[in-house]
Amino acid sequence: MKFQDLNLIEPIQKALTEKGYLIPSPIQEQAIPVLLKNKDVLGSAQTGTGKTAAFALPILQNLYKEKQSQTHPKRKISTLVLAPTRELALQIYDNFIEYSKYLDINTTVIFGGVKQSNQVKELNRGTDILVATPGRLLDLIQQKIVSLLDVDYLVLDEADRMLDMGFIKDVKRIVKMVKAKRQTMLFSATMPKEIINLANQLLQDPVRIQITPVEETLDVINQSVYFIPKKEKIKLLIHLLKNKELKSVLVFSRTKYGANYIVRDLNQAGIQVSAIHGNKSQSARQKALNAFKNKEIRVLVATDIAARGIDVDDLSHVVNYDLPEVPETYIHRIGRTGRAGRGGVAIAFCSPEQFDLLKAIEKHIDMKIPESKDDKLSLDPSKIVTTPKKNRKKTTNSKSVRTDNTSNRKSNNSSKKKSNNSSNKQTSNSNKNKSTSKDTNKKNYTYSKKKSHKNNSKSRGYSRPSNKQNNRKSR
């Protein structure tokens, strides 16, 4: 299917062609025809699937047609898009601007953390589409700067994240201010009970669109894990960054302070880097993000909340410097690369105390993340010691829990020989991904089946010792 087959008007098609969109992604293919018919939609899809265009294009087209049918169309907020974070709100805004390049439709974005004066100026000029985070929107409604009385199209994006961030009450308050006769679209990466309940309250007879489970987008991402003591992680990161093939790297830190330390150490090593996290002002975050997007800096360190909604074309690598506490977050993080089926590389650093987190992630994604080895820096998983020093001798015996088969060991050795340093290995992986990404485009975002994960894990031929196993052995 092509965009021409979706009955989109010429000015939109032109903007899409200029943006290089040739083939609609699965969610676009499914959602656009339904939304053009003014039906409500409940979509399970994460950022990276082309979800924004899936709702933005039909909204723009419907608005355009309505305006065409009016003799003196007035600018009024007829579309409200709610997003959990400033970054995502800006992202959606940018997309609306690009898609409406050849339409006389205005979009404005509002979010907290910055002075409201510029946003108010923009609003006073008149807007058709308002993209907002809930807090700032409620503020401006209370000040009677914004009214939602004319909203015909309502989008709730990343509803599960709004729930996580405690915005659901605000969202409900906002929705009550929008007229009942409207078209509503709710998108969420996951569908916990609370989101289903919310959808039942807000949507009328929605068409349910479920894009291949988020886990399956993992197939286009080349994943690996290093076993590395916590204090060695920074050395490993600096070592990996020597490889220029790591062109655009997003590093995830668990805490804001951790992110600052990573930035400090990378700077000391002569690597240009910035951080975005909750303690940074909105303008500092935006500056860092722009520098990263424009490729002025190679490395951006982020915490989860700040990274939500980051959409950087050609993000080559995601580094999980700290493993996330919530397994699902791992998918969101590595989904920053591999956008729209393009492929990318995700590297995780796992220190001994994070082994349980790794196990939980692997269980969640239903695959073993292949181990990356580096002669000097990586630990053999069987040597991970979680017990006191005096028991170490016994613990080392836990090697016996490894069930290496010869062929796997062989492949490990040969891969070591082939590429003595793991960065090269990553590079070739990333190249492999690049070459497949073209095919992926051709195939219109073909995601392979989960089965491949299972095959993948089997072919590794070894199982890692769990902490429990280690402990049992050493007792």
Footprint of ligand AMP (CB under 6 A): 21, 23-25, 28, 47-53, 311, 313, 339-340
CB of 375 to ligand AMP, least distance (A): 37
Is the separation of the CB atoms in 56 and 99 below 8 Å? yes
Which residues lie below 8 Å from residue 422, measured CB to CB, with a gap of 6+? 224, 226, 240, 372, 373, 374, 378
Q: Which helix (H) or strand (E) holds 154?
A: strand 153-156
CB of 33 to ligand AMP, least distance (A): 15
Q: C-alpha 310: how far from its chain's center?
A: 7
CB of 399 to ligand AMP, least distance (A): 44
Nearer to ligand AMP, 178 or 214 (CB): 214
Nearer to ligand AMP, 218 or 234 (CB): 218
Read off the DSSP letter of residue 462.
-
Q: Strand 79-82 and strand 129-132: pairing?
A: parallel
What separation in angstroms does the CA of 198 have from each of 44, 187, 203?
14, 11, 8
Nearer to ligand AMP, 7 or 267 (CB): 7
CB of 19 to ligand AMP, least distance (A): 7
Cross-strand partners of 301: 251, 275
CB of 98 to ligand AMP, least distance (A): 8
Nearer to ligand AMP, 47 or 184 (CB): 47
CB of 13 to ligand AMP, least distance (A): 12
Structure tokens at 409: 């060991």
CB of 157 to ligand AMP, least distance (A): 9
Nearer to ligand AMP, 285 or 339 (CB): 339
Cross-strand partners of 207: 41
Which residues lie below 8 Å from residue 215, measured CB to CB, with a gap of 6+? 331, 364, 365, 366, 450, 453
CA distance 348 to 325: 13
Nearer to ligand AMP, 134 or 309 (CB): 309
CB of 312 to ligand AMP, least distance (A): 8
CB of 153 to ligand AMP, least distance (A): 17
Nearer to ligand AMP, 25 or 329 (CB): 25
CA distance 187 to 26: 14
Nearer to ligand AMP, 49 or 421 (CB): 49
Read off the DSSP letter of residue 111.
-
Which residues lie below 8 Å from residue 238, measured CB to CB, with a gap of 6+? 265, 266, 269, 271
Nearer to ligand AMP, 23 or 141 (CB): 23
Q: Which helix (H) or strand (E) holds 266?
A: helix 256-268
As to burial, measured by CB atoms within 10 angstroms (0-12 exposed, 13-18 middle, 19+ buried), residue 447 is buried
Q: What angle do CA 454, 307, 361 make, to 5 degrees?
A: 25
CA distance 182 to 85: 24
CA distance 189 to 249: 23
Q: C-alpha 105: how far from its chain's center?
A: 28
CA distance 308 to 277: 11
Q: C-alpha 261: how far from its chain's center?
A: 24
CB of 238 to ligand AMP, least distance (A): 29
Nearer to ligand AMP, 339 or 460 (CB): 339
CB of 24 to ligand AMP, least distance (A): 5
Nearer to ligand AMP, 1 or 468 (CB): 1
